Chains A and B, each alone.
Chain A
Amino acid sequence: MFLYSLGDKVKVIHNVHAVGHVRTPWYVQGKCGHVAKIHGEFANPECLAYGTKSGVYVNLYMVEFKLMDIWVNNDANDCQDSISVDIFEHWLTLN
């Protein structure tokens, strides 16, 4: 059961002080993109890092952002260039 579908506009939760093993890079936190691919269900690395192997599966999405939305002050990036980051469902909200 996936919360988000292809094309959905999503926002990455902003929590740069999150404790523990985090796979959501700070540079996309708080930024808006769209779901470019639904990777499926994966064991949550945030739990695996602490040795928890069973039962903790989360949905993973490839979220695409415009480069100029991420680096707002950088004029060097073309408006068409993008960056895609793999983000777990619990780090996303609908935009």
Chain B
Amino acid sequence: MFNNFEKHQEHPHPKENYDSYSLSPFAKRVENLKRILLRRGLITQKELTATILELDQRTPFDGAKVVAKAWTNRAFKNRLITDASKAVAELGFHPPDDFQSLVVLPNTKTLHHLIVCTLCSCYPRWLLGRPPDWYKSLAYRSRAVIDPKGVMSEFGLTLDCGVRIKVIDSTAEVRYMVLPLRPKGTDRFTREQLASLITRDSLIGVGLPSKPPA
């Protein structure tokens, strides 16, 4: 199946023994598709590696920086809610193509958002990096739209009585991020300190930002 040394355009690397652990049928399909695309010259390994590296430059901390700015700058927060794509571009974050756009969903004391992609795993990768594995799982994708409260409780999140839940299913080219509520007791925090409280899970909606240390 694989040569002993697969030479890519940049470097050789040792044989990856796919027999020593089993790939899921989907992973096998992806591997085969990749090999066919490379063999036919439709993509190059260099392009693939560059895309992966670029994707991995982004982390949830980038989203946290956006949220921290929104918490401390009312005008930016308004711009973020009105046109999130344009607002995050001010901080240097741009989607990879003309198709995708960003919408930021502000939580309030009575409204909590939960984001899912039931069809696949749509996620603002160009801002937050790769989604967590559970986000891509059939379990999350099917249950988040049926029983959002139950799913959130499994993540340890129980909302106060009277808080409305709005689940968002990203079925098209719009990507979503939650703007969580700012934790109490953070009035004197710097933007960096605030960003450190904002978790990836709070940007998806299965968690809340961390509480400030006592």
Cβ contacts under 8 Å, B171 to chain A:
23-25, 85-87
| A-contact bits for B141-182, CB 8 A (1 contact / 0 none) | 000011111100000000000001111111111100000000
| B-contact bits for A74-92, CB 8 A (1 contact / 0 none) | 1011101111111110000
Bound: A22/B165 CA distance, A: 26
Cβ contacts under 8 Å, A77 to chain B:
147, 149
Question: Contact at B168–A84, with CB atoms within 8 Å?
Answer: yes
Residues of A in contact (CB 8 Å), total 29
Residues of B in contact (CB 8 Å), total 22
**Distance from B6 Cβ to chain A, minimum over Cβ atoms (Å):** 29
Best-buried of A40, A45, A80, A87 by chain B (most CB within 10 Å): A80
Task: Indicate if B119 sits at the interface (CB-CB under 8 A).
Answer: yes
Cβ contacts under 8 Å, A27 to chain B:
118, 145
Bound: A77/B143 CA distance, A: 12
**Distance from B111 Cβ to chain A, minimum over Cβ atoms (Å):** 10
Cβ contacts under 8 Å, A39 to chain B:
101, 103, 172, 174
Best-buried of B101, B103, B171 by chain A (most CB within 10 Å): B171
Asked if A76 meets B150 with Cβ closer than 8 Å, knowing A27-B145, A81-B164, A84-B167, the reply is: yes
Task: Indicate if A71 sits at the interface (CB-CB under 8 A).
Answer: yes
Asked if A42 meets B172 with Cβ closer than 8 Å, knowing A25-B118, A67-B167, the reply is: yes
13 contacts between A and B (CB under 8 A): A23-B172, A25-B118, A37-B103, A39-B172, A45-B173, A62-B168, A67-B165, A67-B167, A76-B150, A81-B164, A81-B166, A83-B168, A84-B166
